[in-house]
Amino acid sequence: MIASLIAAVLLTAAPGPLEVVKSGNADVQKVASAPGAKVEQLTKAVERFVDFGELSKRALGKQWDTLTPAQRKDFSETMQGLLKASYAQKALGQGKAQVEYGKESVQGNEATVATTVKVKQDVVPVEYKLFRENEKSEWRIYDIVTDDVSLLETYQGQFRKLMADKGFDGLLTTLKSKRAQLEKNSGATPPAQ
């Protein structure tokens, strides 16, 4: 009786950070290396393990708290489209990468997973940063650090500069323009307005 209860709990437990990263990488590589792979297919695979909303919120920093719910939604959707198009453009056609998984480090509801990625002759350290809302939530990726360069920190720096120059509305307009250009170049279907 107790053994079956323990087995049931283990089977229903959400995957840990390392499992999320492994599963996500496997899904993305499978889609990216398939003949005739499409941007939309790749973005659906990525959405299962990356939290674009959390990345958007953290990238905007303190400014996030000053936005209306409608502005937050608009910003998050714009960022999500931008990130999807950017990521898809880089991932499609790269073929299979060899990924070596390192240590998983968990501190409360934050975690990191270290990996080393080899594509052709390039070997690059990649660290995934994950979070979960609470102990019952699934782990989701919100930042990727490639060769000591954080995607989140890069956006934070760019956003601070753009907001200082153009304000929030100027930042949003710039991001929407960049998103449209990336979607056009990648062949992604733009969202209905």
Q: Which two tokens stand for residue 27?
A: 């899904």
Indicate the domain borders of the chain: 2-186
The whole-number average pLDDT for the span 21-32 is 87
- Residue with tokens 């209905």, as numbered in its chain: 192
Q: How far apart are CA 150 and CA 100, in angstroms?
A: 19
| Strand locations in 41-155 (E) | 98-107, 110-119, 122-131, 140-146, 149-150
Please write the tens of the pLDDT for every residue from 83-94. Answer: 877 776 666 555
pLDDT given for residue 84 in this prediction = 79
Please write the tens of the pLDDT for every residue from 115-150. Answer: 998 878 889 999 999 999 998 999 999 999 998 999
Per-residue confidence band for 55, with pLDDT thresholds at 50, 70 and 90: very high
For residue 17, pLDDT over 90 is answered with yes
How many CA atoms lie within 13 Å of 105's alpha carbon, on the beta-carbon side? 8
Degrees to nearest 5, angle at CA 128 with 94 and 126: 50
Find out whether 20 and 139 touch, Cβ atoms under 8 Å: yes
In sequence order, the β-bridge partners of residue 123 are: 118
Please write the tens of the pLDDT for every residue from 150-174. Answer: 999 999 999 999 999 999 999 999 9
The whole-number average pLDDT for the span 42-68 is 90
Find out whether 63 and 164 touch, Cβ atoms under 8 Å: no
For residue 189, pLDDT over 60 is answered with no
| Measured torsion, CA atoms of residues 25, 31, 37, 40, in degrees rounded to the nearest 10 | -80
For residue 4, pLDDT over 50 is answered with no
pLDDT given for residue 30 in this prediction = 86
Q: How far apart are CA 85 and CA 82, in angstroms?
A: 5
For residue 24, pLDDT over 80 is answered with yes
pLDDT given for residue 12 in this prediction = 47
Contacts of 9 (CB under 8 A, 6+ apart): none
CATH superfamily membership of 2-186? Tgt2/MlaC (3.10.450.710)
Find out whether 131 and 139 touch, Cβ atoms under 8 Å: yes
pLDDT given for residue 58 in this prediction = 95
